[in-house]
């Protein structure tokens, strides 16, 4: 006989869980007690469930295994929901476990009661409740299989507190297995035929369910036939950016030249990416339902194929399975499009150069160029949402799979928790978080978690005194009518120091390299507040220029 809490912890162990991100709650005290006897599972205690859920999501991205987040009912689960949403949009395997009200109290609006199946059904691949301790092995196994099968994503299990403390005699499940489709021989033959007839092919890789090996395989396939290859929004690390076939990222701030190339391509080979709003510039680069470009769409979820876009050749396959098969294909003679590919690469290289800024403040273009030259190729770069991320995305070069952790969901507050998770999973690697004055304060308190677990990550905070992204949209649509976007900020370096972290303010570009070295060598978490020019609202535009253009149009 074991308690529900013990059965649950045994199942997590069987499925290979080695870390749980949590904020404790009295609703799952029996699970915590069982964890007392499971020292091989690292319990990471966070300061807010939004941070814990983002950490679990980032863990899922980094490892390909479901990241586990354990929270309490109403207030805990609502706080954690942001991470579930990101896991859904980013196709990341994740498991949210929620301590729930006792079975006998249900439907009374008991303390912190929420109908979690109803709440999470639109946010998760599957949401369920376990009402019998004896069924924990079955339903936890179901949850792990669902999280990793096909298009990965989040699953949610509610655990009534009395169920967790009741005892049952039940058999354990077996470790979960990953189920993924393979491309058929006819799919691959048709793909090769379409490539042979192409003049201007372009491959776009992205989405979830990749692996380091898949990323190497797809690169080898692209190189063998000289296929120019871009990446979808915030999937820039799926191919080595130094490779001659890499032509840039197709995200919210896509370069105009690359955007035009997506439109001009006669064959789009889209591997793993959904082709969402951020990757298609609001469904304009590739128009639904029938794109002008011939489309080969490879996706792990058969229901995604034909959902928005009608492809000439839809292929249902896991990404590692497709990439290995594509690598094994006999290469196609790419001389017909060699000029097209070289021009795309030249545009990418030109776009890496930044115009040095006038004025004394910190130039994010210089900062990112410095990091591009200095960071080791396995360094992990994280970010949340804000215009500061445009510099990081445009001027950095990713060289290895999963060295970028960014929310394709566009959620603010992701960067710091993701950096905590990255440093836990890869303690030997350098982890750098790009954040803004707005983005940082959403989850900046997880600095306490970084300090508590001795995780020396480096946070680069671009302070422009505003929610610049929203100001940018404001100036475009309603020039000069500034509302709701100015921020009065704390002293961020002092804030970091109050947590026991290293904190410094950097006011001039030339001071950055040495400050970065001090941060990197601090031996504890570090934050550099970079004072940037609010007028330089994107790498391409000033506020005045956006305002003028809006007045003229
Ligand atoms: C959780 C969440 N709330 C609101 C938004 C809308 N939003 C997107 S970017 C942004 C501003 C980010 O500000 P900051 O971190 O200072 O970056 P900046 O744009 O100033 O560089 C806001 C409010 C969002 N994406 N996510
Ligand atoms: Mg800002």
Q: What is the pLDDT of residues 9-34, one digit of tens each?
A: 999 999 999 999 999 999 999 999 99
| Residue minimizing CA distance to atom 23 of ligand 1 | 467
Mean pLDDT of 388-405: 98
Report how far residue 503's alpha carbon sits from residue 44's, in angstroms, rounded to the nearest whole number. Answer: 24
Cβ(529) to ligand 1 under 6 A? Answer: no
Q: Is any ligand 1 atom within 6 A of the Cβ of residue 248?
A: no
Whether 242 has a pLDDT exceeding 80, the answer reads yes
Strand ranges (E), 441-531: 458-463, 502-506, 526-531
Q: Does 409 sit in the ligand 1 pocket, CB within 6 Å?
A: no
Protein residue whose Cα sits closest to atom 5 of ligand 1? 412
Mean pLDDT over 455-484 rounds to 98
Mean pLDDT score, 518-535 = 98
Q: Residue 37 burial by CB count (10 A; 0-12/13-18/19+): exposed, middle or buried?
A: exposed
Tell me what the mean pLDDT of segment 112-134 comes to: 98
Cis, bond preceding 289 (omega within 30 deg of 0):
yes
Within a 10 A sphere around the Cβ of 197, how many other Cβ atoms? 12
Residues 419-434 have pLDDT tens digits of 999 999 999 999 999 9
Ligand nearest to the CA of 50: 1
Is 80 exceeded by the pLDDT of residue 205? Answer: yes
What percentage of residues in the chain have a pLDDT greater than 70? 100
pLDDT band for 403, please (50, 70, 90 cuts). Answer: very high
> Tens digits of per-residue pLDDT, 434-443?
999 999 999 9
Q: Is 416 in the pocket of ligand 1 (CB under 6 A)?
A: no
Q: Is the CB of 278 under 6 A from ligand 1?
A: no
- The dihedrals phi and psi of 294, each to the nearest 5 degrees, come to -65, 140
| pLDDT interval class at 185 (50, 70, 90) | very high
Q: Is 219 in the pocket of ligand 1 (CB under 6 A)?
A: no
Please name the residue whose Cα sits nearest to atom 17 of ligand 1: 386
Mutate to test the pocket of ligand 1, among 469, 473, 475, 536 (most ligand atoms within 8 A of CB): 469
Q: Residue 214: pLDDT above 80?
A: yes
Ligand 1 centroid to 471 CA: how many Å? Answer: 10
Query: In the prediction, which pLDDT does 112 show?
Result: 97
Distance 461 CA to ligand 2 centre (A): 9
Mean pLDDT, the chain, integer: 97
* pLDDT of 447 above 90: yes
**Residues within 5 Å of ion ligand 2 by Cβ?**
436-438, 464, 468
Q: Does the beta carbon of 406 lie inside 6 Å of ligand 1?
A: no
Residue 463 Cβ contacting ligand 1 at under 6 Å: no
| φ, ψ of residue 470 in degrees (nearest 5) | -75, -35
Ligand 1 neighbourhood includes 466 CB (under 6 angstroms)? yes
Residue with the two structure tokens 């396995």: 378
Bridge partners, 201 (sequence order):
267
434 lines ligand 1 (CB under 6 A): no
Q: Which band of pLDDT confidence, cut at 50, 70 and 90, is reported for residue 357?
A: confident
pLDDT of 457 strictly over 90: yes
Counting from 1 in the atom list of ligand 1, the atom nearest the Cα of 411 is: 26
Q: Is the CB of 388 under 6 A from ligand 1?
A: yes
- pLDDT computed for residue 355 by the predictor: 84
Nearest residue CA, atom 1 of ligand 1? Answer: 412
Separation of CA 477 and ligand 1 centre (Å):
17
Query: What pLDDT was estimated at residue 516?
Result: 98
CA atoms within 13 A on the CB side of 204: 29
- pLDDT(241) > 80: yes
257-279 in b/e burial notation, b at 16+ Cβ within 10 A? bbbebbeebbbbbbbbbbbbebb
Contact 391, 538 (CB under 8 A): no
Contact in structure between 232 and 273 (CB atoms under 8 Å):
yes
**Cα(147) to centroid of ligand 1, in Å?**
29
Q: Which of 412, 415, 488, 546 to mutate to test the pocket of ligand 1 (most atoms within 8 A of CB)?
A: 412
Closest CA to 54 of 382, 436, 400, 391: 382
Q: What is the pLDDT of residue 358?
A: 75
**240 near 399, Cβ under 8 Å?**
yes
For 2, 52, 368, 527, the CA distances from 516, given in Å and listed in that order, are 51, 27, 12, 9
Mean pLDDT, rounded, for 71-78: 98
For residue 105, CA distances in Å to 77, 108, 113, 141 come to 18, 6, 9, 27
Mutation test residue for ligand 1: of 86, 382, 386, the one with most atoms within 8 Å of CB: 386
CB-ligand 1 contact for 99 (6 Å cutoff): no
pLDDT of residue 522: 98
- Return the ligand 1 atom nearest residue 440 CA: 15
**Residue 465 pLDDT level (bands cut at 50, 70, 90):** very high
Asked whether 253 lines ligand 1 (CB < 6 A), one says no
**Dist. CA 166–CA 1, nearest whole Å:** 10
pLDDT band, very low/low/confident/very high, at 115 (cuts 50, 70, 90): very high
Q: Is 359 a residue whose pLDDT tops 80?
A: no
**CA-CA distance, 384 to 397, in Å (whole number)?**
18
Q: Residue 182's pLDDT is what?
A: 98
| Ligand 1 centroid to residue 15 C-alpha, Å | 36
**In the numeric block, which tokens belong to residue 153?**
């994503």
- Residue 386 Cβ contacting ligand 1 at under 6 Å: yes
Query: Is the CB of 309 within 6 Å of ligand 1?
Result: no
Tens-place pLDDT, residues 264-296? 999 999 999 999 999 999 999 999 999 999 999
User: Which pLDDT does position 155 carry in this prediction?
Assistant: 99
Cβ-based burial of 232 (10 A; exposed 0-12, middle 13-18, buried ≥19): buried
The CA distance from 280 to 265, in Å, is 13
The rounded Å distance from CA 438 to ligand 2 centre is 5
């Amino acid at each position: 006989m074991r308690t529900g809490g013990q059965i649950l912890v045994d199942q997590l162990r069987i499925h290979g869980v080695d870390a749980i991100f949590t904020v404790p709650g009295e609703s799952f005290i029996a699970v915590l007690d069982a964890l007392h006897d499971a020292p091989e599972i690292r319990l990471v205690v966070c300061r807010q469930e939004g941070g814990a859920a983002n950490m679990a999501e980032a863990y899922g991205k980094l490892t390909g295994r479901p990241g586990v987040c354990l929270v309490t009912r109403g207030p805990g689960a609502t706080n954690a929901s942001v991470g579930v949403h990101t896991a859904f949009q980013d196709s990341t395997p994740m498991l949210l476990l929620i301590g729930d009200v006792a079975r006998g109290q249900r439907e009374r609006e008991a303390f912190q009661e929420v109908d979690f199946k109803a709440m999470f059904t639109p946010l998760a691949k599957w949401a369920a409740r376990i009402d019998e301790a004896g069924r924990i092995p079955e339903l936890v196994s179901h949850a792990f299989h669902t999280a990793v099968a096909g298009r990965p994503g989040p699953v949610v299990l509610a655990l009534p507190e009395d169920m967790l403390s009741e005892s049952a005699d039940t058999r354990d499940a077996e470790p979960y297995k990953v189920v993924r489709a393979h491309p058929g021989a006819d799919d691959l033959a048709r793909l090769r035929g379409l490539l042979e007839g192409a003049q201007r092919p372009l491959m776009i890789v992205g989405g979830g369910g990749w692996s380091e090996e898949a990323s190497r395989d797809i690169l080898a396939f692209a190189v063998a036939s000289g296929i120019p290859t871009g990446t979808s929004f915030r999937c820039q690390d799926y191919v080595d950016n130094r490779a001659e076939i890499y032509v840039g990222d197709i995200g919210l701030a896509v370069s105009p030249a690359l955007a035009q190339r997506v439109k001009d391509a006669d064959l789009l080979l889209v591997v793993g990416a959904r082709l969402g709003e951020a990757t298609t510039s609001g469904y304009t680069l590739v128009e639904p339902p029938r794109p002008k470009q011939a489309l080969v769409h490879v996706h792990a979820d058969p229901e995604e194929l034909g959902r928005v876009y009608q492809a000439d050749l839809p292929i249902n396959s896991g990404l590692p399975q497709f990439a290995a098969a594509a690598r094994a294909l006999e290469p196609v003679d790419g001389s017909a499009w060699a000029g097209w590919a070289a021009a795309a690469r030249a545009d990418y290289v030109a776009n890496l150069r930044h115009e040095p800024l006038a004025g004394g403040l910190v130039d994010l273009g210089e900062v990112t160029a410095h990091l591009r030259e200095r960071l080791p190729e396995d360094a992990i770069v994280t970010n949340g949402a804000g215009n500061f991320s445009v510099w990081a995305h445009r001027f950095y070069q990713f060289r290895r799979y999963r060295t970028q952790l960014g929310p394709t969901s566009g959620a603010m507050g992701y960067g710091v928790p993701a950096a905590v998770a990255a440093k836990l999973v890869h303690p030997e690697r350098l982890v750098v978080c790009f954040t803004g004055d707005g983005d940082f304060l959403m989850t900046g308190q997880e600095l306490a978690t970084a300090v508590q677990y001795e995780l020396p990550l480096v946070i680069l905070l671009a302070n422009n005194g505003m929610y610049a992204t929203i100001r940018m949209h404001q100036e475009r649509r309603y020039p000069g009518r500034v509302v709701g976007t100015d921020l009065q900020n704390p002293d961020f370096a002092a804030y970091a120091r109050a947590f026991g972290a290293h904190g410094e303010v950097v006011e001039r570009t030339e001071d950055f390299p040495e400050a970065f070295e001090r941060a990197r060598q601090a031996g504890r978490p570090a934050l550099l507040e970079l004072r940037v020019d609010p007028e330089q609202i994107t790498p391409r535009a000033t506020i005045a220029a956006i305002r003028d253009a809006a007045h003229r149009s």
